[in-house]
């Protein structure tokens, strides 16, 4: 049966001599894998493969069969043409991190229009944001992604609740702390501030501190998503912002 949906390309891998398998987060069906034949050739039609670059926003007409591992695409066209994201190295690196995090976090196809909107808005923001705001965005995205997945950090840093209990995802007092995986002090306060996207421009961070905070964010995600593997894009992200 044919369906019309929007989608975000997350990953593309070669399949056979001329085909590709594309992982796309769709508005209608959540994450899906699509087999696209005949796009890796020397013919003029091979240019169609260009629209399946990671982070591309697509309008799709797809065949969909529930519980099928590989779906098919009838038609695909670019929904929004980025002005900067795919040609600007910093923007592209941030987008690659987000696409990898999504693809390695979400494994089951489940419809979630709100999550799709969050992803789409994030990529559009990366395309147009001021450059001085980009460095903190992987932190902001990671924390808000956790919230959309149902385990966002609760409460805020306060003198009475200065400890972030990572296992339970909440700020608490020493008396309330029940686990051994926690952070406190300035680092906990920074995480609390980063949960507020309005403060994105106002949080000055050194590269070393940003690296530490991203490690905490990924560790927090991994505590709640045990299958989350290593993210290869993280090393590239650090390298780009150190340059």
Residues of the chain with pLDDT under 50: 44, 46
Boundary (domain end) residue, out of 61, 81, 101 = 81
In the prediction, which pLDDT does 213 show? 95
What does the pLDDT read at residue 203?
79
Kindly report, residue by residue over 30-74, the tens digit of the pLDDT.
Answer: 999 999 987 866 654 545 778 999 999 999 999 999 889 999 999
- The reply to whether 156 and 223 lie within a common domain is yes
User: For the chain, how many structural domains are there in total?
Assistant: 2
201 in the same domain as 99: yes
Domain containing residue 14: CATH number = 2.40.50.140
Residues 54 and 135 in one domain: no
The packing angle between helices 233-242 and 89-105, to 10°, is 160
List residues bridging with 154 in a β-sheet. Answer: 170
Which residue, 81, 107, 138, sits at the end of a domain? 81
Q: Phi and psi at residue 119, in whole multiples of 5°?
A: -65, -50
Q: Are residues 207 and 123 in the same domain?
A: yes
- Classify each residue of 25-37 as buried b or exposed e, where b means 16 or more C-beta atoms within 10 Å of its C-beta: bbbbbbbbbbebe
Shared domain check, 185 and 139: yes
Q: What is the pTM of this model?
A: 0.92
- Return the CATH number at 218: 1.20.1440.120
In this structure, are 194 and 110 located in the same domain? Answer: yes
What is the reported pLDDT for 201? 62
Q: What would the pLDDT profile of 164-177 be if each residue is shown by its tens digit?
A: 999 999 999 999 99
Cβ within 8 Å of residue 222, ≥6 positions away: 228
CA distance 151 to 14: 35
Quick one: 112 and 226 in the same domain? yes
| Whether residues 40 and 76 fall in one domain | yes
- Same domain for 108 and 91, yes or no, is yes
The confidence score (pLDDT) of residue 243 equals 59
According to the model, what pLDDT value does residue 39 have?
80
- 176 with 212, same domain: the answer is yes
102, 200: one domain: yes
Expressed as residue numbers, the domain containing 135 is 82-243
Q: Are residues 62 and 93 in the same domain?
A: no
CB 55 within 8 A of CB 202: no
DSSP string, the chain: -EEEEEEEEEEEEEETTTEEEEEEEETTTEEEEEEE-S-SSSSGGGGGGGGGSTT-EEEEEEE--TT-SSEEEEEEEEEE--SSTTTSHHHHHHHHHHHHHHHHH--S----HHHHHHHHHHHHHHHHS-HHHHTTHHHHHHHHHHHHTT-PPBS--BTTB-EEETTTTEEE-TTT--SS-EEEHHHHHHHHHHT-GGGGGG----HHHHHHHHHHHHHHHHHH-TT----THHHHHHHHHH-
Final residue before a domain boundary, out of 81, 109, 136: 81
Distance CA 153, CA 8 (A): 26
């Amino acid at each position: 049966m044919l369906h019309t949906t929007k989608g975000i390309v997350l990953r593309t891998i070669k399949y056979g001599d001329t085909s590709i398998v594309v992982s796309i987060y769709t508005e209608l069906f959540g994450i899906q894998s699509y087999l696209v034949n005949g796009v890796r050739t020397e013919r003029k039609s091979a240019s169609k493969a260009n629209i399946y670059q990671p982070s591309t926003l697509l309008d799709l007409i797809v065949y969909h069969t529930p519980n099928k591992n590989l779906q098919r695409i009838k038609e695909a066209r670019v929904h929004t043409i980025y002005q900067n994201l795919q040609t600007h190295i910093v923007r592209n690196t941030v987008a690659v991190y987000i696409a990898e995090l999504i693809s390695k976090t979400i494994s089951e196809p489940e419809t979630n229009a709100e999550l799709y909107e969050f992803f789409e808005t994030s990529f559009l923001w990366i395309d147009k944001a001021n450059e001085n705001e980009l460095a903190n965005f992987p932190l902001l995205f990671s924390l808000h992604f956790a919230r959309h997945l149902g385990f966002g950090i609760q409460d805020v840093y306060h003198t009475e609740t200065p400890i972030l209990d990572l296992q339970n995802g909440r700020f608490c007092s020493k008396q309330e702390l029940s686990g051994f995986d926690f952070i406190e002090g300035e680092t906990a306060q920074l995480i609390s501030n980063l949960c507020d996207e309005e403060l994105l421009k106002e949080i000055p961070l050194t590269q070393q501190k940003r690296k530490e905070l991203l490690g905490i964010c990924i560790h927090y995600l991994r505590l709640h998503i045990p299958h989350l593997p290593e993210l290869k894009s993280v090393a590239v992200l650090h390298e780009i912002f150190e340059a």
